[in-house]
Structure 1
């Protein structure tokens, strides 16, 4: 009797111990996870998504499939996720533009980022840099601001697109420095940089990814970066903040979000896997090489950060009277 009872007790204990593991492993239960990229293949967001998807597959054993749904400045892909079943099987790699800027800048955004998504984890942040032609007369940010103030609305700022972080960085600088900005929008960073090199515009806030080859070729001169601290890949380039604009920061952050209503246990499972991926030395090295900083953290941290960014850009857009650049 004793032996049977003991066996029954041990068996019950083992079953009880296995319950949390089974619960944790219930997601995604062999089903593929879609990671929606709201931009075209080959871009910066797409590259990050595919690297994370591959690493998550190897770390967690999940089948993570990247699906590109571009259009409307990223709004089409995000709207698809906002309206998806909240089971954690459809996620999005959102970013500053579509989660924090577009809703305040564009009148017809089809989703409410504050209500329609459950943030899962912050992935990484990437600053932009103010660049001019290598033979431009401006050697410092102060030089450029001086001329912009002396000739209001005459210096032309190239934009990779309306509502991008580069667009907002330029607007923030103009607002804080007190000059009028003349925006010239393009369909992407490549044509914007090409026209800058051609002398059709005067300056641009571009990502290190987009400008790196032109910087290496000495075709562009970087005047400042928008990160809170200097970049390891550009240690000699000052920040906008240290150039006289205390507290200035404009970064293109990325975050994985799920549809609102996704169960907290599922959110936590995805977060745990992605935090492990982001802490991997190979992942950190990949991001550092392009000028990015890996983030990670708990879902609550992502919620707070995104809310702060939404409030920051909405305030700037309202106070400076910023409109979409056409």
Structure 2
């Protein structure tokens, strides 16, 4: 009787176990358990990274059977939020919206950066790349890049140029413009693109380089005037806006600045979790409506493996280190 009971118990256990195999990970008591996932955006609300986080986060949460909340922790061109994410537990419950600023530029600008863009994180997904566009208020007298350069040269201290923070791609773009043209500009850093671009719209700041994700809606609504894009070729989404290189200024013939957006997790996050996140986010980004939105923003969608993202990031760190050193760019 006892032997029969043991056999029955073992058989029941096998049946239960076989049933669990087909259940989602959350039902097995493994990641994700239903615990909220924090998607850290190291910039203020309203910017590119924030916009993408909210578009991706909701669908990702549905796919994982949990909730993804966006947390804005802006400051120092993404350094503050990135450092906070780097110190989080590597358990799959913290994602970070990384950018060319936070994960390629800052390491060469801030001598006491509280994280290493490569050693402190594991890459998950490269969302896409996009150039930045030089914009001024719709009420501004400047209509071309030559107008901007002429006015900056004539004004004491140059024209003011807003950015999402010191070391951001917006900041690097104006520094490069000044370096290559030999004309001075006054950099005005903010804690994110959202508040910065509002002050450009109101005319409190003369101009700003910003990503097409943030600037395009304001250009389309007539609040901003697009002066030039920093890509090698004109954008399909802004065919009437010339490139900086088309300005006719010889010193700017090879001017190009590309921003990018990616998702990272704290270093040593279990590989199966990184793989699951990579696969689920790829599915979200591959949806036709998401591809349309990304391209509408002027962003070129990317589809790289985790290993390829790592190689891409290392190359970007080296590239911007050379630019910063060559232009002698210093933090404010």
Q: 1:205 to 1:68 in 2, by over 3 A?
A: closer
TM-score by length of structure 1 reads 0.80
Shift of 1:151: 5.2
Q: Deviations over 1:237-288 (max 9, x none)?
A: 1222454645533233211111112232221111111111111112122223
Are the equivalent residues in 1 in contact too, given 2:158–2:184 (CA < 8 A)? yes
Are the equivalent residues in 1 in contact too, given 2:136–2:227 (CA < 8 A)? yes
- For the residues of structure 1 that align with 2:243 and 2:269, how far apart are their CA atoms? 39
Are the equivalent residues in 2 in contact too, given 1:157–1:170 (CA < 8 A)? no
- For the residues of structure 2 that align with 1:283 and 1:235, how far apart are their CA atoms? 21
Q: 1:197 to 1:69 in 2, by over 3 A?
A: closer
Shift of 1:299: 0.8
Alignment gaps of 5+ in structure 1: 1-7
- For the residues of structure 2 that align with 1:189 and 1:22, how far apart are their CA atoms? 38
Q: Deviations over 1:143-197 (max 9, x none)?
A: 544665x65974314122322211101122233x341332231435466556556
- For the residues of structure 1 that align with 2:309 and 2:219, how far apart are their CA atoms? 33
Q: 1:152 to 1:83 in 2, by over 3 A?
A: same
2:280 is matched with which residue: 270, 273, 286? 273
- For the residues of structure 2 that align with 1:236 and 1:298, how far apart are their CA atoms? 34
Counterpart of 1:5 in structure 2 is: none
Alignment gaps of 5+ in structure 2: 1-10
1:312 is matched with which residue: 308, 314, 319? 319
Counterpart of 1:3 in structure 2 is: none
- For the residues of structure 2 that align with 1:265 and 1:142, how far apart are their CA atoms? 52
SS in 2 for 1:53: helix
Are the equivalent residues in 1 in contact too, given 2:174–2:185 (CA < 8 A)? no
Shift of 1:225: 0.6
Shift of 1:42: 4.0
SS in 1 for 2:96: strand
Are the equivalent residues in 1 in contact too, given 2:42–2:82 (CA < 8 A)? yes
- For the residues of structure 2 that align with 1:115 and 1:100, how far apart are their CA atoms? 12
Counterpart of 2:85 in structure 1 is: 81
Shift of 1:218: 4.3
Q: 1:75 to 1:191 in 2, by over 3 A?
A: closer
- For the residues of structure 2 that align with 1:191 and 1:34, how far apart are their CA atoms? 23
2:305 is matched with which residue: 293, 298, 304? 298
Counterpart of 1:258 in structure 2 is: 265
Indicate whether 1:104 and 2:108 are aligned. yes
After superposing the two structures, state which structure 1 stretch, 287-296 or 230-239, moved more: 287-296
Are the equivalent residues in 2 in contact too, given 1:105–1:324 (CA < 8 A)? yes
Are the equivalent residues in 2 in contact too, given 1:274–1:296 (CA < 8 A)? no
Task: Please tell me the root mean square deviation across aligned C-alpha atoms, in Å.
Answer: 3.6
- For the residues of structure 2 that align with 1:319 and 1:219, how far apart are their CA atoms? 35
